[in-house]
């Protein structure tokens, strides 16, 4: 989900990681579901990528 929205926003991994204040490696792990994140980091990602609540719920239900 993160990767899809990041690409739609035309951001590189480096750009998004810098914008939300996490390491590039951490963002890569999150995109490939290798690690969980804190709610505060998740909120930063959601806000940076303009992901709606509805899309989040839809993603969670389809997992």
> Distance (Å, rounded) from C-alpha 53 to C-alpha 18?
23
As a whole number, mean pLDDT of residues 39-48 equals: 94
Q: Answer whether residue 63 shows pLDDT above 80.
A: no
Q: What is the pTM of this model?
A: 0.83
Residue 31 confidence (pLDDT): 93
Residue 8 confidence (pLDDT): 96
Average pLDDT over the chain reads 93
Contact 57, 32 (CB under 8 A): no
pLDDT digits (tens, 9 = 90+) for 5-32: 999 999 999 999 999 999 999 999 999 9
Residue 60 confidence (pLDDT): 82
Superfamily, domain 2-61 = lambda repressor-like DNA-binding domains (1.10.260.40)
> Distance (Å, rounded) from C-alpha 32 to C-alpha 50?
20
> Distance (Å, rounded) from C-alpha 52 to C-alpha 29?
22
């Amino acid at each position: 989900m993160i990767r899809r929205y990041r690409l739609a926003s035309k951001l590189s991994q480096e750009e998004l990681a810098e914008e939300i204040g996490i390491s590039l490696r951490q963002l890569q792990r999150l995109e490939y579901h290798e690690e969980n994140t804190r709610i505060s980091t998740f909120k930063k990602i959601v806000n940076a990528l303009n992901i709606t609540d509805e899309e989040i719920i839809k993603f969670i239900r389809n997992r």
